């Protein structure tokens, strides 16, 4: 039940965020501030639930919040359009561009950065669950030559 509830809660948060961004694009002035507040609430909720800021779910939300805040600067406002497209990709086909980029971060992988890993992260089929848990062993493993 906890996993189902957690998935349901995550979906509600992201759906509300997508609707708020749509309202922002439609001209409702408070919508962007509400989207930022909701994303900050998500960060706190998932950090408290996990008792850590380092979990992948919290990293995605912190990254999303950072991009929302960066997009407040007029030259970077296009970030909000990219985020709107990304959250809708997540909601419709379980493809989260931000999570796929975060899986490449050094602290989220045990193996070396490679073109094969980038290809897999960007082009592997969408699937429910955290992408960080689906990295193929051959891409996550540290080659024998690289071991200390």
Q: Quick: pLDDT tens for 84-137.
A: 999 999 999 999 999 999 999 999 988 889 999 999 999 999 988 889 989 998
Q: How confident is the model at residue 3 (pLDDT cuts 50, 70, 90)?
A: low
Q: How far apart are CA 54 and CA 124, in angstroms?
A: 24
Q: Would you state the pLDDT for residue 110?
A: 84
Quick one: CA dihedral 48, 50, 54, 56, positive or negative? Answer: negative
Whole-model pTM: value is 0.89
Q: How far apart are CA 125 and CA 127, in angstroms?
A: 6
Contacts of 9 (CB under 8 A, 6+ apart): none
Q: Would you state the pLDDT for residue 145?
A: 39
Q: Would you state the pLDDT for residue 99?
A: 96
* pLDDT, tens digit, 9 for 90 and up, residues 5-53: 578 999 999 999 999 999 999 999 999 999 999 999 999 999 999 999 9
Residue 1 has pLDDT above 60, yes or no: no
CB atoms within 10 A of CB 120: 20
């Amino acid at each position: 039940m906890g996993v189902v509830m957690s998935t349901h809660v995550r979906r509600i948060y992201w759906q509300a965020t997508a609707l708020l961004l749509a309202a922002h694009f439609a001209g409702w002035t408070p919508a962007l501030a509400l989207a930022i507040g909701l994303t900050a609430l998500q960060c706190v909720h998932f950090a408290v639930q996990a008792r850590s800021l380092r979990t992948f779910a919290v990293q995605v939300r912190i990254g999303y919040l950072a991009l929302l805040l960066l997009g407040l600067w007029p030259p970077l406002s296009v970030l909000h359009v990219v985020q709107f497209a990304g959250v809708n990709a997540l909601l419709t086909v379980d493809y989260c561009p931000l999570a796929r980029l975060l899986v490449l971060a050094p602290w989220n992988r045990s193996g070396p950065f490679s073109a094969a890993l980038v290809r897999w992260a960007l082009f592997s089929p969408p699937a429910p669950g955290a992408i960080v848990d689906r990295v193929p062993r051959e891409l996550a493993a540290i080659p024998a030559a690289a071991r200390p």
